[in-house]
A and B are shown apart, each in its own frame.
Chain A
Amino acid sequence: MTTSLADIQSAFQNRLLTGADDLMPLLANGGRFFKVYDNAYSLRLLEVLAEDFSALHTLLGDQKFEQAMRAYLADHPSQHTSIRWLGRHLTEWLGRTEPWRDHRELADMAAFEWALGLAFDAPDAPVLESETLADVAASEWPSIIFSFHPAFRTVDLLWDIIPFQQIVTRDDTPTAAPMPLEHPATWAVWRDPDSLSVCYSQLDKGEAKALNAAREGATFADLCTLLAETADETVDENAAAHAAGMLKSWIDNCWITGLAIKDNDKP
């Protein structure tokens, strides 16, 4: 009885993923060069992860990095046609998988490096011109909602990992490991539309809250309320003026691609 195409392919894949030996009887000449596929599979994927997470690689060292990445790949074999997305679950995985989850700096580093990569090659989108704000009727301001550029991200960090990452990016060797931050920090990561370089800057607590709310569909009025609530900590009493200024800086930084008026009949 001949083996079906699908059965051969399942056996082939199982061999690469788990080392199962159902494949060997299906190969001619004893499959004596099958090792080429075996070697290529793990080497290629590890190489891509080491490239996408070079600072995490340095932080962990070769041996632990390979150990972690092999375990990650076992839990998250690639499901995307582009190998570029191989590391998309790594931050979440490092944050919940022993023993790595006990070292939060690892998930922080992965999150930051992944955001830099996304900012670098996210699809292009036309950004909003600040003059557009002048066209918004006063009565519509409270109901404005915002669309963000695909390259824009925020990253929440508990560890001071960015100096370490910057040293690795310069091809230098870090001399000290990252330390925990005194207070959690939120960073904005984006791509400048003219130079196409990736930029990042730390946000204050109120702006971070407002940005996260805006990305989830909050209106301008919602942002004013949020800022007023945190006024005792970070902003002055005029939340609306502060929100307007903040919105202008978002537009100037090319984070916003569009405005819309929220339909209040919709939840």
Chain B
Amino acid sequence: MTKDNNTLTGFGLGLRPKHFPAILNDHAGRTPGVDWFEILSENFIKVGGPARRNLDRVRERYPIVMHGVSLSIGAPDPLDMNYLAGLKALIDRIEPVLVSDHLCWTGAHGLNLHDLLPVPLTKEALNHVADRVSRVQDYLGRRILLENASTYVTFAADEMTEWEFISALAEKADCHILLDVNNVYVSGFNHGFSPAEYLAGLPADRIRQIHLAGHQNNGDHIVDTHDAPVADPVWDLYSQTISRFGPIPTMIERDDNIPEFSELVAELDQARALCRTATREPATSEAAA
């Protein structure tokens, strides 16, 4: 039914137009320190011109992973086959190592709110999402990864924790997990759960990629803004994550206040150093809790 292309290793960055010159002009080959790039799928579906040409050039030098925001896997509407056809065509052209989207919904009744909205953590939602993931994977002919989104509300109807939901979903739909460590921290802060407990509840063999990003702390809540360097508590949680799960391919997302490319490469070096340290040390008691 599905094939695995799980050969990704090392550390990557989100591919952003601002960085095309630095990536493509300054180096005949690869930039030291960047092993792969992640693209936002929607920016390249049925798109030509400079975006397509630049992506093709980057693809000649680097492995690519695809990350979407519009699958709306938790939505009540039927799967958008037009979107999936565009996604599949891009997959066929780019041959990405991994394809991911979010555990979320983005709209209902034919509308798109262009936000990653929280899925109620109920058995009904679990069955609904698992069925849709299976159908998407059948259509694409490959497993997908679903990412834990940052959330700002939970529902009175919730019947399980997010980590229980994601673990059950991965098992039931036979999909993989993109673990966003920043999102674990953000949601944990907003809802008062322990990030370490979250990590401990995840199935290690399903986690195939890690996201890191910056956030904005507003005192009583945190917003996942992707507009700043990775925060110190998230670095700590990342170390715990690597101690627990091993050296999972990791990338940094930056979507606003985008700095020079070299600055992000340096930040990625921080991830690499922490990963090296964490894999040399036994799991900490906190991470293993």
Residue of A with least CB distance to B150: A36
Residue of A with least CB distance to B86: A81
Q: Give the residue of B105, B106, B112, B152 whose beta carbon is less than 8 angstroms from that of A34.
A: B152
Q: Which of B45-53, B173-181, B245-253 contacts A (4 or more CB under 8 A)?
A: B45-53
Q: Give the residue of B48, B82, B108, B112 whose beta carbon is less than 8 angstroms from that of A151.
A: B48
A37 touching B153 in the complex, CB below 8 Å, given contacts A5-B122, A44-B115, A124-B48: yes
Q: Give the residue of A8, A10, A80, A121 whose beta carbon is less than 8 angstroms from that of B155.
A: A8
User: Do A5 and B152 touch across chains, with their CB atoms under 8 A apart?
Assistant: no
Chain A nearest CB from B76 CB (Å) reads: 4
User: Do A31 and B153 touch across chains, with their CB atoms under 8 A apart?
Assistant: yes
Residue of B with least CB distance to A83: B114
Q: Give the residue of A9, A83, A84, A151 whose beta carbon is less than 8 angstroms from that of B76.
A: A9
CA distance A112 to B196 in the complex (A): 53
User: Do A3 and B157 touch across chains, with their CB atoms under 8 A apart?
Assistant: yes
Chain B nearest CB from A37 CB (Å) reads: 6
Chain A nearest CB from B59 CB (Å) reads: 15
User: Do B53 and A81 touch across chains, with their CB atoms under 8 A apart?
Assistant: no
CA distance A80 to B105 in the complex (A): 14
A110-152 contacts to B (CB < 8 Å)? 120-125, 150-151
Chain B contacts for A9, CB-based, 8 A: 75-76, 105, 108, 117
A6 interface contact, C-beta 8 A: yes
Chain B contacts for A84, CB-based, 8 A: 42
Chain A contacts for B45, CB-based, 8 A: 82
How many A-B residue pairs have C-beta atoms within 8 angstroms? Tell me.
Answer: 120
B103-149 contacts to A (CB < 8 Å)? 105-115, 117, 120, 122, 124-125, 128
User: Do A37 and B111 touch across chains, with their CB atoms under 8 A apart?
Assistant: no
Q: Give the residue of B53, B117, B128 whose beta carbon is less than 8 angstroms from that of A12.
A: B117
User: Do A81 and B49 touch across chains, with their CB atoms under 8 A apart?
Assistant: no
A77 touching B111 in the complex, CB below 8 Å, given contacts A29-B154, A31-B153: yes
User: Do B42 and A82 touch across chains, with their CB atoms under 8 A apart?
Assistant: yes
Residue of B with least CB distance to A7: B76
Q: Give the residue of A25, A33, A125 whose beta carbon is less than 8 angstroms from that of B156.
A: A25
A16 interface contact, C-beta 8 A: yes
User: Do A196 and B158 touch across chains, with their CB atoms under 8 A apart?
Assistant: no
Residue of A with least CB distance to B54: A196
A36 touching B223 in the complex, CB below 8 Å, given contacts A5-B124, A27-B155, A78-B114: yes
A5 touching B223 in the complex, CB below 8 Å, given contacts A16-B113, A28-B153, A36-B152: no
Chain A contacts for B223, CB-based, 8 A: 36
Chain B contacts for A123, CB-based, 8 A: 46-48
B193 interface contact, C-beta 8 A: no
> Counting chain A CB atoms within 10 Å of each CB, which of B46, B83, B110 scores highest?
B46
User: Do A78 and B112 touch across chains, with their CB atoms under 8 A apart?
Assistant: yes
CA distance A29 to B118 in the complex (A): 15
CA distance A27 to B121 in the complex (A): 12
User: Do B108 and A6 touch across chains, with their CB atoms under 8 A apart?
Assistant: yes
CA distance A120 to B46 in the complex (A): 12
A79 interface contact, C-beta 8 A: yes
Q: Give the residue of A2, A34, A78, A121 whose beta carbon is less than 8 angstroms from that of B153.
A: A34
User: Do A82 and B153 touch across chains, with their CB atoms under 8 A apart?
Assistant: no
B27-85 contacts to A (CB < 8 Å)? 42, 45-53, 70, 72, 75-76, 80, 82-83
Chain B nearest CB from A39 CB (Å) reads: 9
Residue of B with least CB distance to A9: B108
Chain A nearest CB from B35 CB (Å) reads: 28
Q: Give the residue of B70, B109, B122 whose beta carbon is less than 8 angstroms from that of A82.
A: B70
Chain B nearest CB from A149 CB (Å) reads: 10
Residue of B with least CB distance to A124: B48
Q: Give the residue of A31, A33, A44, A191 whose beta carbon is less than 8 angstroms from that of B114.
A: A44
Residue of B with least CB distance to A149: B48
Chain B nearest CB from A234 CB (Å) reads: 33
User: Do A8 and B112 touch across chains, with their CB atoms under 8 A apart?
Assistant: no
A13 interface contact, C-beta 8 A: yes
B167 interface contact, C-beta 8 A: no
User: Do A33 and B105 touch across chains, with their CB atoms under 8 A apart?
Assistant: no
B279 interface contact, C-beta 8 A: no
Q: Give the residue of A8, A81, A196 whose beta carbon is less than 8 angstroms from that of B70.
A: A81
B18 interface contact, C-beta 8 A: no
A-B contacts, 17 of them at CB < 8 A, read: A2-B157, A5-B122, A5-B124, A12-B117, A13-B109, A13-B111, A28-B158, A33-B190, A34-B152, A77-B112, A78-B107, A81-B82, A81-B112, A86-B114, A121-B47, A122-B49, A191-B49
